Structure formats: structure tokens, C-alpha cells
Amino acid sequence: MSLTTLSENRSHGGIQGVYDHTSDAVGTTMTFSVYVPPHEAGAKLPVLWYLSGLTCTHANVTEKGAYRRACAEHGIIFVAPDTSPRGDDVPDDEAYDFGKGAGFYVNALQEPWARNFRMRSYIEDELPALIAANFPADMARQGITGHSMGGHGALTIALRNQPRFKSVSAFAPIVSPLNCPWGEKALGGYIGPDKDKWREYDAVALIEDGARLPDLLVDQGTADNFLTEQLKTGLLALACKKAGIPATIRMQEGYDHSYYFIETFMEDHVKWHAGRLI
């Protein structure tokens, strides 16, 4: 359970760190960031996971996410993993939406992806154990959020792992990979042609199949150019309504898919998680 410290910087009274370790789950070195807010010695703090979107690493939200002030105020550890395995021996694809940077938080079944592309196991099992062993984390108080592909990951991981996550939110999530080009490409390539096996990686399908959340917060920009074809927020709203899941789905006028959008609403999301974790 050892890790290597790549950098640590003081911010808002706490420590923003970047670390790496050798991952058994994906078979390569993985880098992630952790912000630990100021706290009393011996205290155990709740954890908020943030899963990034296509083409991103841990660095995108760490450098542009504007979460540290709110995490310091509410006493929340913020963990930002990578989006896929990395390394010269890891298979890749020329397209931006498949291969490195596009792990989709699945355990791949198809070759050549099955050996390394096991981000589901990494996020659900391996990295939480590493966080618990090396940081003052109260793993009984976990929340999860994410953006786009990471919003898909946050929703599906939370739905499959209740009641582990006490709070769940997302920024512009891919809500139904079964019904969008990004999802069809990723799940077809990683999982294979049997669409019944895709359902455990589709938030709408998981809800239809009986999975539930205590409640949900989603922000989606109306000027997001991926909204109609790829994100399809309305499918999630309908699924939650049918299932009786309390869902606050906010259509934010004029906002796009960028980190300007995420930065605008990040502190609001941290506060919302704090109300369910503290």
C-alpha cells in the first residue's frame, strides 16, 4: 500500500499533494491527487471522489477545479484519480474517445484492453484501500462526483456500491452509454457486442434494473454542445422520476462543457456533499 510523493503544496491551510504508486489492478504506475484540509491531529475526515472526463488526468481538476477553499471550510478530503492506465506498454487508440485518457471506469473484457483497462477495480477497490492506509480518511463517509465520462463513472459506481456512498453528484454526466455514440464505441470496444453486459455501466439501465441512490445533484449547461447527442440528461431525469429517486437536476443557462462551468458550481457541490457527509 505504499505510494511516492511527487509534490505537496500548502493551500487554504491544508496540503494539496500529487502521488503515484504501482497498481496491481491496471498493471502500471498510476498518478492521483489528494487535497487534505486543515484538521486536528488524529481526526478522520470524509472523502469526496472526483472522476474526470475524456482526455483528462488528475491534473485538470487539481489545477482548474477550484475546490480547495470549500473543502478546507467543510473539512473534506478531495481525491482525483486518473482516467485510464498510462505507460508505453499500455494499448492505445488514435481517437481521443478510446484508449488512454478514455478508460470509462469499466473492467474491459476484450483484448488487447482487458489486461490494463480495469479502472472499475482500481476506483472501487484498490485506490480506496490506498487512501485509507495513507491519509486521515473516514471511509464510512464517502461521496462521489465527476464530469462527463467521469460523471458516468460517479453515477454507475455509486449505483453499484450502495450504501458505500452517502452523497452523489455529477457535472454534465454521460447518463446512458447504451444510447450515445461515445458509450457505444467505448462499451462495444472494451466489453464486447453483448449489450446485456453493458447495463452495469449505464446509470439509466442500472436504475431501471433496481439500483437506487439516496438523492442526487446534477448540473448541466444548456450551451453544452454534447448535450443532445452524447449526454442526454433528460433520460436520467425520467429514470429518477420513475424510480422515486430524489434528484435535483439543474439546467444552467448558457454554460458549456468546460472547466469554466465546473469551476462555477464546484463549491456548491462540495457544500452539498458536506451536508450529507459531515
Q: Is the pLDDT of residue 154 over 80?
A: yes
Q: Is the pLDDT of residue 1 over 90?
A: no
Catalytic residue (one of 148, 167, 169, 176):
148
Calpha distance 144→151 (Å, rounded): 9
Calpha distance 84→101 (Å, rounded): 5
Task: Tell me what the mean pLDDT of segment 214-231 comes to.
Answer: 98
Report pLDDT digits (tens) over 44-79. Answer: 999 999 999 999 999 999 999 999 999 999 999 999
- Average pLDDT over the chain reads 98
Confirm whether 257 is a catalytic residue.
yes
Q: Is the pLDDT of residue 258 over 80?
A: yes
Task: Tell me what the mean pLDDT of segment 74-93 comes to.
Answer: 98
Task: Tell me what the mean pLDDT of segment 30-52 comes to.
Answer: 98
Catalytic residue (one of 23, 224, 269, 273):
224
β-partners of residue 160 are: none
Confirm whether 224 is a catalytic residue.
yes
Catalytic residue (one of 147, 152, 257, 269):
257
Task: Tell me what the mean pLDDT of segment 90-102 comes to.
Answer: 98
Q: Is the pLDDT of residue 125 over 80?
A: yes
Confirm whether 148 is a catalytic residue.
yes
Q: With 0.85 as the threshold, say if the pTM is over it.
A: yes
What percentage of residues in the chain have a pLDDT greater than 70?
Answer: 100
Amino acid letter for position 166: K
Report pLDDT digits (tens) over 155-171. Answer: 999 999 999 999 999 99
Domain boundaries, the chain: 4-275
Report, at the CATH architecture level, how domain 4-275 is classified: 3-Layer(aba) Sandwich (3.40)
- Who's near 238: CB < 8 A, 6+ residues apart? none
